[in-house]
Amino acid sequence: MRAGYHGKLMEIDLEKENITEREIDSHDVRKYLLGSGLAVRLLLRDAELHCDPLSPKNILIMMVGLLTGTTVPCGCKMSVCAKSPLTGIWNEATVGGHFPAELKFTGYDGLVIRSKAEGPVYLWIQDGKCEIRNAEELWGKDTYETSEILKRETDERARVASIGQAGENLCRISSITFDGAIARIGARGGIGAVMGSKNLKAVVCRGKTLPDIADRNGLIKLLKEDIPKIKEYGIGLREFGTAGGAPAVEALGDLPIKNWALGDYKDEIIKISGQRIRETIWKKNYRCYACPIGCAKIIEIEESPHGDPHGAPSGTPYGAVPLSHGPEYETVGMLGSNCLNSDLYLLTKCNELCNRYGMDTISTGSVLGFAMECFERGMITKDDTGGLEIGWGDGKAMIALINQIAKKEGFGGEYLADGVKRAAEKIGKGSEDFAVHTKGLEYPAHDPRGHFSMAPNYATAVRGGCHLEGLTLFFDRGVPCEDLGYVPTSGWDQFDPEGKARICYDYQNMLSVYNPLGLCKFLFILMVGPKAIARWINKVCGWDMTMEELMKTGERLFNLKRVYDIKLGITRKDDKLPKRLLEPKPDGNAKGMVPPIDRLLEEVYQLRGWDDNGIPRKERLEDLGLPGEVDMPQ
């Protein structure tokens, strides 16, 4: 008996309009889990790795996690996986909310979407059946309006994942917006452009088939013990959301300020923090599926100096909503301090536009900050921008550029819509020196100069500049992981390189199972370690998994994604930090600090069993039980 999952994938060929069912081998589920774990295995086996990411040959996989849709706390996630249009390597865009559980309730664990439809379409999936429907009338509409229209057309209780104009226009920093104005985002790596390249406007689902639980009574008993503790540790998130951490992040020297050039923003960051949001525009909390915390903030703004706060980008009445999703921490950092923007109303307007257009706020904030610095240095002028003056924190410029990026028009469309790496290549003039990315993926709002343990994580993260693969910064903030032996002591120094490679290695292995399990990574900072997760898995699936097996699974999946990247040409030469982040900050808590990246990389390579060029050695792959066809040349 399968428990926790259905053991079925739905395969959809958009060109042939052919829909089939594919069985999942139970051995593969134990070995790779679901989510991004099984997805990378399928892509390595089935995909044409060297295809253009925007060609019909790129396979798009939407895969729920193993524990998604169960009563396990925060079992709400799914991964949208494909070759990234932004980086050209592995990409997984992870999202929570209620869509992932609803997709699982259709009786399937995921969708494998191939080729390209002749014209715009959307998928309507209900209780195990799928229809490919015409979406001509939806093309050109934003994600909020698309969601409302499709719910009226299918089922008011349905869940909707859609792209906006940015994805339609193949913007390489485009995202997928889930559930309209609630706006849970599959953000990174240009995943929205993959949908756009397939003429796939949306996926809509509604189901009633819940996964079986092997030991329901045993799971209930465990959760009665675990959930009260999770609620206790989650008080801060419940009150102020992720943006509530912004002042503490600034105090640690971890906040991006003025395109990562400065280190002190303490007098301004409070103006756009979760605390200020709570005091002013907060309306209510939002909970993802099975979440006991509810960290997301729904906001209401009656009047804004930046135009209709909840209206459509064009200014027309369509799509107007009374409430919308407030900015998360990463948005506060990248569209806020990184652009020297401490105007809360401007921040919420930019966040709203990005969510409607379907744009990654991290990458958008990065390219805007980069453009502001280029303008300040005279590398671009009003002659280049069509008369637009791109000043730091300039609301008119930020809104105009977001509109241009999404529509692929003007300076923003030509220079910024494909990410900071390509923008620097086009502008030149030394701008590459302050284009902040690794392997083409823009950095989120955490600075490795503030947390040395994050430096090797950024350098080796499988999708590029990604903090979520390591999250060692939370240990520096006093969050323990007792299961792995990490308990904060007075001797731990965020700027001392000693021990930083080991914690990077351990945390990457641990966090590599969260997306495949469908678990929110906030569980990690709410004191839920791998021992508790292994117990949950066993009650749900009827397995006998130990913490050690779970950690080895994480290491297996991290290496499997590394193999995917290596097959696309990634080596030691790509495992690096951007030049800007190897320059000391002039002020703030991290003043003068630069991580010794070469030493840290060498230590991580040794721990991982990789050779000097960053390639996993054959014996390590064999130890991890990886199949022979992914062995790398030595």
**pLDDT(484) > 80:** yes
Closest CA to 451 of 482, 466, 473: 473
**DSSP-assigned letter for residue 150:** H
pLDDT reported for residue 318: 42
Q: Which band of pLDDT confidence, cut at 50, 70 and 90, is reported for residue 490? A: confident
pLDDT reported for residue 197: 98
CB-CB contact of 470 with 457 (8 Å) = yes
Q: Are strands 78-83 and 282-286 parallel, antiparallel or unpaired?
A: unpaired
Report the Cα 271 to chain-centroid distance in Å: 25
**pLDDT(522) > 90:** yes
What the block records as the tokens of 442 is 């823009």
Domain 442-511+546-630 fold: 1.10.599
Q: Which residue has the higher pLDDT, 291 or 306?
A: 291
Mean pLDDT, residues 184-203: 98
CB-CB contact of 312 with 135 (8 Å) = no
pLDDT reported for residue 371: 98
Q: Which band of pLDDT confidence, cut at 50, 70 and 90, is reported for residue 313? A: low
Q: Which band of pLDDT confidence, cut at 50, 70 and 90, is reported for residue 633? A: very low
Closest CA to 31 of 447, 613, 386, 560: 560
Q: Which band of pLDDT confidence, cut at 50, 70 and 90, is reported for residue 134? A: very high
CA separation for the pair 544, 509 (Å, rounded): 20
pLDDT reported for residue 309: 67
**pLDDT(629) > 80:** no
Q: What architecture does CATH give domain 8-206?
A: 4-Layer Sandwich (3.60)
Cα radius of gyration rounded to whole Å, the chain: 23
Mean pLDDT of the chain: 96
pTM for the model stands at 0.97
Condensed to tens digits (0 to 9), the pLDDT of residues 500-515 reads 999 999 999 999 999 9
Mean pLDDT, residues 612-623: 96
Neighbouring-strand partners of residue 83: 90
pLDDT reported for residue 312: 59
Mean pLDDT, residues 151-177: 98
Mean pLDDT, residues 273-292: 97
CA separation for the pair 500, 132 (Å, rounded): 50
**pLDDT(315) > 80:** no
The structural domains of the chain, with segments of one domain joined by +, span 8-206, 234-391, 442-511+546-630
pLDDT reported for residue 296: 96
E strand or H helix at 22, and its extent?
Answer: strand 18-23
- Residue 3: Cβ-neighbour burial (10 angstroms; 0-12, 13-18, 19+): middle
pLDDT reported for residue 317: 43
pLDDT reported for residue 204: 98
Asked if the domains at 8-206 and 234-391 fall in one CATH topology, the answer is no
Closest CA to 360 of 322, 324, 406, 392: 406
Q: How many CA atoms lie within 13 A of 475 on its CB side?
A: 29
CB-CB contact of 491 with 590 (8 Å) = no
**DSSP-assigned letter for residue 449:** T
Q: Which band of pLDDT confidence, cut at 50, 70 and 90, is reported for residue 303? A: confident
Question: In which residue are the tokens 């949001």 written?
Answer: 277
Mean pLDDT, residues 330-359: 97
Mean pLDDT, residues 606-628: 94
pLDDT reported for residue 491: 78
Mean pLDDT, residues 215-224: 98
Mean pLDDT, residues 391-405: 98
Other Cβ atoms less than 10 A from the Cβ of 554: the count is: 24
CB-CB contact of 423 with 371 (8 Å) = yes
Q: How far is CA 286 from CA 68, 155, 204, 542, 625, in A?
A: 18, 21, 21, 32, 41
Report the Cα 46 to chain-centroid distance in Å: 24
Q: Where are the beta strands (DSSP E) in 372-512?
A: 437-438, 441-442
Q: Is 596 left (phi over 0), alpha (psi -120 to 50) or beta?
A: beta
Q: Which CATH number fits domain 234-391: 3.40.50.720, 1.20.140.10, 3.40.309.10, 1.10.569.10?
A: 1.10.569.10
What the block records as the tokens of 143 is 């994600």
